Structure 1
Amino acid sequence: MGAYLSIFGQSLPGTPKFKVEDIPDLTGKVIIVTGANTGIGKETAKALLQHNAKVYIAARSQEKSEQAIKDLEKETGKTAIFLKLDLADLPSIKASAEEFKSKESQLHVLFNNAGVMMCPIEQVTAQGYDMQFGTNVLGHFYFTKLLLPTLIETAKTTPEGKTRVITTSSSGHLFHGLDFATFKDGPKRKKLGTQNLYAQSKFGNVVFANELARRYGDHIVSVSLNPGNIKSDLQRYLTGITGRIINSMLYPTPYGALTQLWAGTSKEGLDLNGKYAIPWARVGPARKDTADPQLGKELWTWLEEQVGDL
């Protein structure tokens, strides 16, 4: 019951106090937004471009990304840069990070925005991980890990001594914790079902962000967040009554960018390390066990083990 009450409270957030117009000038800032070829990520990239950031759209589809770049150029007069990234394939992630580092020596903000939601249970990543956990958690962990040296060195050059990693979770994290036996494909994973697997991945996003905050808080502000109930491509797998109910509760896509833009660009955002943000642009409660340091350490260790030999 508590989870449903928490969701209800976050589903009616009222009028936003933070607006895109409140974003400071971002001239000289280099920013990556994963999954920015559509939905909330695209709206995030749009706002960043409007405020003069150099924005990399990190996504799997070059065709969709190039179209998004054209759309954004028409709307903002600024041109984003495509960075090929398939979060469901670990070698692709390594290649993406290496490509970025060959072009840039600085990274001020990483928005871990991309994600998949309630995809068919048969779908797994290229290395056989559950598609939702593999993409939403492991993929973003590995991408972040590879970019940590750049983030840390960049932090040393900023007036505040910080860079930021903003990880998009969901109110769905309230409904399931971590079952390590379901992270890779197998009967137990299939039995858990796609809705619980999604919730687990969003729980994992919060745990990862909190552990990143503990380990690298001297240089990096790590924040996780619920962007709100937002209309986007995430709902493409939802059908039947579940789909109808969820779609009836959704806000327009631009609202979904507000909370992560607040965390990633505002002066207030510098004080959010290890916090969980909720709609619209405020700090709120995550599930209590996401803050368990022992769980954070266990997840981080497991994630490190998956990418150790790459």
Structure 2
Amino acid sequence: MIPQHLINKSLSTHEEFDDKTEAADVAKAFPRKVLGKTILVTGANKTGLGFSALQAFASQAPANLILASRSPGKIKECIDALAAEYPNVKYHALNLDLSSQKAVRAAASELLSRDEIEAIDIVVNCAAIFGFGPAGRVLTEDGIESHFATNHIGHWLFTNLIMPKLIKASAKNPKGATRIINVSAGSPMSAGIRWSDMNFEKMVKDLPEDERPSAFLHKLFGIDINDETVFTYLEGYNQSKVANALFTVGINTRLYEKYGIASFVLHPGVIMTELARGATDDQIDAVNKQPIVRKTLSQGSSTTLVAALDPKLTDNLSTQEPLVFLADCQLVKLPPKSSSKENADRLWDLSEELTKEKFSW
């Protein structure tokens, strides 16, 4: 549950939208924000949030939907289902493995070369991994902890590489209509970045006090930690999801005033998807015992649609402390560790270092 005092409904067009709102109803509320647009969604998977968002977008006649996934088979399954219901939309497949910087660069290069996709109006970074289970820390081929590499670095690099097509869209759209949406989790409400130990090599007792994981939160997921714990999948996931929020702040700082490109980040809610496919029975039982309201895929994707389409959200982006995080279809205030410009700039610098790439437009 999101504390009510942190929610600001006055900054959205539809104060009545909440945790029960369906994605299709949000799309219907903003039809002109979808009509004729080109929208890209990562994490195309027929049983996931990405597909639910794609369905809602498709219902309002976008010109193009780009489906990105590391699985060509899952992309085809999604396109087949969408085309059967909405045959007048043009669908485009993009093979994208976010865990590999080499693969991300290849996907971005391919997309930039496609003449039929002149510009991209909305990007929804929805793909994610959640490494349930006892396997322990996994490093990618780039030497980065897998959650951070996939959920943050992959999206950060891909989004920045395809920015020319977003900038082109922003030239014809009203300010704030071209958007980058990052699907996060509840993590930014309580977690942070392990700045002193990004790859999880230290024991808890050797970390600064403000970087130590919460034993209480781990208990909710059926995980016991102590002073000698080095890595848990939950901490890896939490760190990557906080990075989604700080990435959002960084985008707005660099692109909103200059190009009118806006970014929002969101918590879709608790939904059973393939993200939890590696969970043990004990872990699922531990989560199921918590007094948490579960959402359907459509209810979870409704916040994605609000973040992508509601024009009123951008009214606060030029204020001293803009709100960029949504939950249950409304803007929510985040703590400084997951929303400050200082931490966002720190993460941006780290992302440039890890990818050996600097972007300026």
Match of 1:30 among 12, 32, 38: 38
Report 1:223-302 matches (<5 A).
Answer: 223-247=264-288, 249=292, 250-271=294-315, 273=317, 275-302=323-350
Where does structure 2 lack aligned partners over 5 or more consecutive residues? 8-17, 205-228
Q: Alignment partner of 2:61: what SS?
A: coil
Q: For this pair of structures, how many residues does the alignment match?
A: 304
Match of 1:16 among 11, 16, 21: 21
- Segment drifting more, 148-157 vs 18-27: 18-27
Where does structure 1 lack aligned partners over 5 or more consecutive residues? none
- Work out the CA distance in 2 between the residues paired with 1:247 and 1:276: 29
- Work out the CA distance in 2 between the residues paired with 1:51 and 1:124: 41
- Work out the CA distance in 2 between the residues paired with 1:130 and 1:305: 15
Q: Which residue of 1 aligns with 2:142?
A: 127
State whether residues 258 and 281 of structure 1, in contact with CA within 8 Å, keep that contact through their aligned partners in structure 2. yes
Q: Which residue of 2 aligns with 1:307?
A: 355
Report 1:33-48 matches (<5 A).
Answer: 33-38=41-46, 39-48=48-57
Q: Alignment partner of 2:264: what SS?
A: strand
- Work out the CA distance in 1 between the residues paired with 2:140 and 2:67: 21
1:57 paired with 2:67, answer: yes
TM-score, length-scaled by structure 2: 0.77
Fraction of identical pairs, as percent: 25
Shift of 1:134: 0.6
Shift of 1:291: 2.1
Q: Alignment partner of 1:73: what SS?
A: helix
Shift of 1:241: 3.3
Deviations 1:46-94 (A, max 9, x none): 1111111211011100011111111222233345211110000001111
Q: CA-atom RMSD, angstroms?
A: 2.6
1:201 paired with 2:240, answer: yes
Deviations 1:124-149 (A, max 9, x none): 32212111111111111101111222
State whether residues 99 and 154 of structure 2, in contact with CA within 8 Å, keep that contact through their aligned partners in structure 1. yes
Q: Which residue of 2 aligns with 1:69?
A: 79
Q: Which structure's CA Rg is the greater one?
A: 2
TM-score, length-scaled by structure 1: 0.88
- Segment drifting more, 53-62 vs 239-248: 239-248
- Work out the CA distance in 2 between the residues paired with 1:247 and 1:28: 42
- Work out the CA distance in 2 between the residues paired with 1:100 and 1:31: 13
Quick one: which amino acid aligns to residue 170 of structure 2?
Answer: A
RCO higher in 1 or 2 (8 Å CA, sep ≥ 6)? 2
Shift of 1:305: 1.3
- Work out the CA distance in 1 between the residues paired with 2:332 and 2:267: 9
Q: Alignment partner of 1:124: what SS?
A: coil
- Work out the CA distance in 2 between the residues paired with 1:91 and 1:55: 24
Deviations 1:217-255 (A, max 9, x none): 122111111111122111112223331243574211111
- Work out the CA distance in 2 between the residues paired with 1:142 and 1:122: 22
Shift of 1:211: 1.3
- Work out the CA distance in 2 between the residues paired with 1:157 and 1:131: 37
- Work out the CA distance in 1 between the residues paired with 2:120 and 2:74: 24
State whether residues 133 and 201 of structure 1, in contact with CA within 8 Å, keep that contact through their aligned partners in structure 2. yes
Query: Cα distance 1:279–1:301, how it changes in 2: closer, same or farther (>3 A)?
Result: closer
Query: Cα distance 1:309–1:164, how it changes in 2: closer, same or farther (>3 A)?
Result: closer
- Work out the CA distance in 2 between the residues paired with 1:247 and 1:72: 32
Shift of 1:266: 2.6
Query: Cα distance 1:83–1:188, how it changes in 2: closer, same or farther (>3 A)?
Result: farther
State whether residues 142 and 307 of structure 1, in contact with CA within 8 Å, keep that contact through their aligned partners in structure 2. yes
Quick one: which amino acid aligns to residue 96 of structure 1?
Answer: A
State whether residues 224 and 275 of structure 1, in contact with CA within 8 Å, keep that contact through their aligned partners in structure 2. no
Q: Alignment partner of 2:346: what SS?
A: helix
Shift of 1:185: 6.5
- Segment drifting more, 254-263 vs 269-278: 269-278
Q: Alignment partner of 1:180: what SS?
A: coil
